[in-house]
């Protein structure tokens, strides 16, 4: 063998034996820009705020929110959502549950949970029954129906008639 071949083989052998440098960080990959799953994300904050606004507007606890007269995880989550939203002020809580023997226990469970969170009794209302402020007045839909009927009659069709084929 000539000396050039020996040199090339020596260099290749050295590279194979030594290998890559340990401790050197590899080049960034596409996935390196992602935060870990434990990091809070702005989209989750948005979802949490929307859930809190909805829970506060609804404000109703049903029988499904209680197990054996005590708030269950569903009820606790809903109450916590009502209190964690961006809105401040009085929280209106409605208990849409039957006024039977367990009603007092359920009501006490809600009060105990609110007290454990540090809420004073003058910062919330607890009302038996449904939230009467929930829903949309029917007059809005009926006004739209009247406008639709006027437009249909102007087009020569009979209101409520099946479309012709």
Q: How far are the Cα atoms of 102, 122, 143 from residue 99, in angstroms, in the given order?
A: 8, 23, 38
Percent of residues, the chain, with pLDDT higher than 70: 79
Angstrom distance (rounded) from CA 55 to CA 48? 10
As a residue count, the chain comes to 165
pLDDT tops 70 at residue 3: yes
pTM value? Answer: 0.59
Evaluate whether 106 touches 139 at the Cβ level (below 8 Å): no
Residues 52-110 have pLDDT tens digits of 998 998 999 999 999 999 999 999 999 999 988 767 788 999 999 999 899 999 999 99
Residues 144-153 have pLDDT tens digits of 777 777 766 7
Angstrom distance (rounded) from CA 141 to CA 101? 40
Q: H or E element: which one contains 93?
A: strand 91-96
Chain centre distance of CA 141: 29
Angstrom distance (rounded) from CA 68 to CA 117? 22
């Amino acid at each position: 063998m000539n000396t050039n071949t020996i040199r090339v083989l020596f260099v290749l052998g050295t590279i194979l034996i030594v290998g890559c440098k340990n401790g050197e960080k590899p080049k960034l990959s596409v996935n390196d820009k992602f935060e870990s799953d434990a990091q809070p994300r702005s989209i989750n904050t948005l979802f949490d705020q929307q859930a809190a606004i909805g829970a506060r507007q609804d404000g109703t606890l049903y029988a499904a929110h209680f197990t054996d007269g005590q708030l269950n995880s569903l009820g606790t989550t809903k109450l916590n959502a009502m209190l964690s939203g961006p809105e401040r002020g009085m929280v209106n809580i409605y208990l849409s549950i039957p006024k039977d023997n367990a009603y007092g226990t359920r009501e006490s469970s809600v009060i105990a949970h609110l007290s454990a969170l540090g809420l004073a009794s003058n910062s919330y209302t607890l009302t038996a029954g449904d939230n009467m402020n929930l829903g949309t007045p029917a007059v809005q839909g009926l006004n739209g129906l009247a406008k639709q009927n006027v437009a249909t009659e102007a087009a020569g069709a009979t209101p409520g008639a099946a479309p012709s084929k």
